[in-house]
Chain A
Amino acid sequence: MSSADLTSERDLPPEREASAKGDVAPERDGPRDTGMDDASLHRWLTRTWRTPPGIIGALSSVDHKVIARRYLITAFLFLCLGGLNAVVMRIQLSGPQRGLIGPDLYNQLFTMHGVTMMFLFAVPIVQATGIYLVPLMVGTRNIAFPRLNAFSYWVYVSGGLFAWVSFALSMAPDVGWFAYVPLSGPEYGPGKRADVWAQMITYTEVSSLAVAVATIVTIFKQRAPGMSLDKIPLYVWSLLVTSFVVVFAMPAVMITSTFLILDRLVGTHIFNPAEGGDALLFQHLFWFFGHPEVYIIFLPATGMVSAIIPAFARRPVFGHLGLVLSLIAVGFLSFGLWVHHMFATGLPKLGASFFTASSMMIAIPNGVQIFCWLATLWDGRPVIRTPLLFVFGFFFIFVIGGLTGVMLASVPLDLQVHDTYFVVAHFHYVLIGGAVFPLLGAAYFWFPKITGRMMSERLGRWHFWLALIGFNAAFFPMHIVGLWGMPRRVYTYPAELGWGNINLFISAGAVLFFLSFVLFAFNLVHSALKGAPAGDNPWDAGTLEWATSSPPPSYNFARIPVVTNVEPLWAEREALPVATGLRVDARELIISTVAEAHPDIREKSATPSIWPLLAAIAVGGTFLYSIFTPWAIVWGAAPIAVTLIGWFWPKGDPEDEE
């Protein structure tokens, strides 16, 4: 690669810039953006960065925005499916001994609800939001490893389809999203249901890992010149920490699911106590992933809150450094408290007490975040729009979830509420309050950037109030019915226990909550077609993604901005300084140093390719076949190898031949 010859128009007077340009061999170089007028720059960049036309072109796109849009829509569809599952379950539970569905279907329903919401909605949607926004917020033209990014989308879709097709064929997993052994083991989980769980988990996590790696590299190496670590927006920080948590947590669940499939398909006895295995090992491995998972979902949501609050409070966020440190602290601590899911398994008391202390401790950095946001609102003059409303909903709900989390962290108290509806209430308060409400706020906030149109404010308010009331009506009473003794995961309950009325109330709330999403879906479609034009920066927010047009062009920025502040658009009210020197006839990016974001080298970004799709099909087919025979891994290796060779086939590059 050529060494960096990037210059900032701000730092260098024009005559020196011209001489700097003369340093590289011009005959080997194509045209550059230095000194080019806006119209021809636009023509060049559009031709270089566009997604090819036609169906093959669409399937080979590597544009992070195109892929992220697909991810967002797919994840939203899975949310609707998972939500429908929940409504059916709630109708079954709305009265004692209701015969709408039997245990077989009910157990598949709650398993699919959990699997869909955790693996097919929550994690993909926060990562997809990151795929869309991170390159824009750090001021680069595409995500790192664009083909890997395309590949991970196709893998995710095939994993999701696999799970839902198996559900349609009535062979969906029915062992809970946590699939504890021995229930999911070879002896007590006959048929292919637990195999579907195990293989689906493994390959959707392949997708998460790939996205996490791409996100980390994008943030570390592709930031706009000047965006030193202290000037990275909090949302990007949250994605960085999340991606590291993904990298360390996801392998644990992949090991769990792989051990399970080995027990089931190959006949190992890793979890079989009769042969020296241990059923508890499964739980340790699973929760070593499962608890960080909560923060994988929650941390990006805090990043969204940190993006929305300053924009509407009209001041930079209070305690930027404190918030960054809190994100990192939460990331670390999230690995130290998995055992609080296992207090009822009869672990040694001293160890359990240690996990009480560490579980309580994570409330401190979370408290720091809440207090900093409150301080930002106190000091600002909040302009109340729908995104901010959802942030208020987040405070209202998430604080309850956090406080009941403190209750669950206490060993003795947990022994009463563990595996009851109290816990169901708690984690829906944390996940819906802590992640879905910020996500909805983020949808209203960034919708204009993605589509170029505003969402309806009036429908947005209706949506908010319907969601807030429906949510609390559905989930608050669950705390009470849990304390009254109602266990989770039951498809029915006897009338004499007196849980009928309260469950009817809960079910009504659940239906209301579901309806709020119907309204949201209507608002999305209606606004995408008929919404008011948004302009580049409708909220007058301060971060880089608002510096380009809405929707952003395929190349994101005509000239790469130079960053001087956390909110560059607030610091430079007229126009951002820019860096130039990139070729316009090839997909070039600035690679910058990790800490200071000094421009380092120019690097090529991958061109569109159909191979990632073919590779995903090969991988998906291998996994699908492998629920029937372990030989699938052997036979599947051939098509995977072929597609990977096609993907990475080297192409001549004149600069490399020097």
Chain B
Amino acid sequence: MKRLASIAFAAAIALFLQGCAGWQSALDPKGPAASELAWLIWFFTGLCAVVWVLVMAALAVPLMMRSRERLEPLVLDAGADNRKLRVVMTAVGLTAVILVGLTLLSFFANRTLAAIGSDAALTIRVTGHQWWWEVRYEDATPSRILTTANEIHIPAGEPVRLLLTSTDVIHSFWVPSLSGKLDLIPGHMNVLDIKADKPGVYRGQCAEFCGAQHANMGTFIIAEPRAEFEAWWNDQLQPAAAPTSDEAKTGEDLFLKRPCVMCHKIGGTPAGGTVAPDLTHVASRQTLAAGTLTMSRGNLAAWIADPQGVKPGSHMPVVDLSGDELNAIVAYLEGLK
């Protein structure tokens, strides 16, 4: 039994170390909020571990004094009971003190978190859909307002204000290496301030059960230096790149004639659907279908040809396309950088 336990322990440690490189981990903070929370998690864990060990030690003692014979029930001894009462009362008092301490600690951590976004400059509206994220960058100049999907670009080192809501069911926005989660609820607007210390890509995922494809509702926060972020924004404001090859041109025509146009928008073309992700610069994104597939020609084709095979239950319908038609549409979309 002891050997088994030590093997299990070693396996647990190995697993633990292996997972520390995760990029969607509350224990691998990349921003001030997540750092504060990671500290809090470790402090609580340490304290709880100490308490647990103490309770187990208290449980182990009577085991040492165990007896195997059947004994007559003991008669109570008032003196011993009084001594026990003092010990129990002390333990209860200590528990209360620890709990008050932890309550205060959470309260102060709350204040630290609230202070992160006090001078938030950039505001991004994130709207949850089954099962993708609509991302709208607010700006005082209407022509600079930008709508994209699934990936959120932010300037590194600056606080960003996210306005969270949903148009269908409840979702929850969660990028653990930057911040705790907050729900997107239809009819409610929640505010979450986030900040990434350094440039990088941070993965997030919907955390509230939202139906068939809850598992495949990923998102990425891409933190860049301010200059690159501005450049990216300006690029995204441009209308879609015109198709260059004949095949891509055919693809554009097909896109506009087929049901694709009912749901998707492509800036600079007549396509203006809003119920599905904006595809104006789709090829510049890292993934397809809210983090389900990495962006590549093959995956684009697979996703369009068989969306229900990739994401069963998703709202992307199967559009009847021949092989050539599929290739043409993929060629067109591939050019939308």
Contact = CB atoms under 8 A, between A and B. Distances in A.
A605 interface: no
Contact of B212 (A107, A392, A419): A107
A487 interface: yes
Contacts of A279: 170, 185-188
Nearest to B171: A183
Contact of B44 (A314, A410, A501, A540): A410
A357 B48 CA distance: 17
The 4 A-B pairs with the shortest beta carbon distances in the complex, nearest first, are: A415-B180, A273-B187, A485-B24, A490-B215
B312 A413 contact: no
Interface in A319-338: 319, 322
B288 interface: no
A370 interface: yes
A165 to B, nearest CB: 23
A399 interface: yes
Given A375-B88, A493-B215, A344 B207 contact: yes
Most B-side CB within 10 Å, residue of A182, A278, A540: A182
Interface of B: 1, 4-5, 8, 11-12, 15-16, 18-19, 21-27, 34, 36-37, 40-41, 44-45, 48, 51-52, 55-56, 58-59, 61-63, 65-74, 76, 80-81, 84-85, 87-88, 91-92, 95-96, 99-100, 102-103, 105-107, 109-110, 113-114, 130, 164, 168-170, 172, 174, 176-177, 179-183, 185-188, 190-191, 203, 205-216, 218, 291, 312-313
Interface in A521-537: none
Contacts of A498: 18-19, 21-22
Contacts of B100: 360
B183 A345 contact: yes
Contacts of B16: 480
A220 interface: no
Given A375-B88, A381-B74, 18 more contacts: A103-B212, A104-B212, A104-B312, A280-B188, A346-B182, A371-B92, A395-B56, A413-B40, A415-B181, A416-B37, A473-B8, A480-B16, A480-B19, A483-B25, A484-B22, A489-B209, A492-B216, A499-B19
A444 B72 CA distance: 21
B24 A484 contact: yes
Contact of B15 (A318, A382, A505, A570): A505
A127 to B, nearest CB: 29
Contacts of B105: 410
A419 B170 CA distance: 13
B180 A356 contact: no
Contacts of A420: 207
A30 interface: no
Contact of A353 (B1, B107, B168): B107
Interface stretch (A2-10, A78-86, A240-248, A400-408): A400-408
A487 B215 CA distance: 8
Interface in A153-194: 175-176, 180, 182-183, 187-188
Contact of B11 (A313, A316, A410, A505): A505
B80 A379 contact: yes
Given A102-B312, A484-B27, A412 B209 contact: no
29 contacts: A103-B212, A314-B71, A314-B73, A318-B81, A344-B182, A346-B164, A346-B191, A353-B106, A357-B103, A361-B99, A364-B92, A364-B95, A364-B96, A364-B99, A377-B59, A378-B61, A380-B62, A381-B67, A384-B63, A406-B48, A415-B182, A469-B8, A480-B19, A483-B26, A484-B27, A487-B205, A487-B207, A497-B203, A498-B21
Interface of A: 102-104, 107, 175-176, 180, 182-183, 187-188, 273-274, 278-280, 313-316, 318-319, 322, 344-346, 349, 352-353, 356-357, 360-361, 363-364, 367-368, 370-372, 374-375, 377-384, 392, 395-396, 399-400, 403-404, 406-407, 409-420, 465, 469, 473, 476-477, 480-481, 483-485, 487-494, 497-499, 501-502, 505, 540, 542, 567, 570
Contacts of A407: 41, 44-45, 48
A38 to B, nearest CB: 27
Contacts of B186: 182, 273-274, 279
A593 B241 CA distance: 87
Contacts of B41: 407, 413, 416-417, 483
Contacts of A481: 19
Given A419-B181, A501-B18, A374 B207 contact: no
Contact of A368 (B8, B88, B113): B88
A419 B207 contact: yes
A381 B71 contact: yes
A415 B56 contact: no
B84 A412 contact: no
A410 B110 CA distance: 9
Contact of A367 (B67, B91, B130): B91
Contacts of A501: 15, 18
A183 B22 CA distance: 31
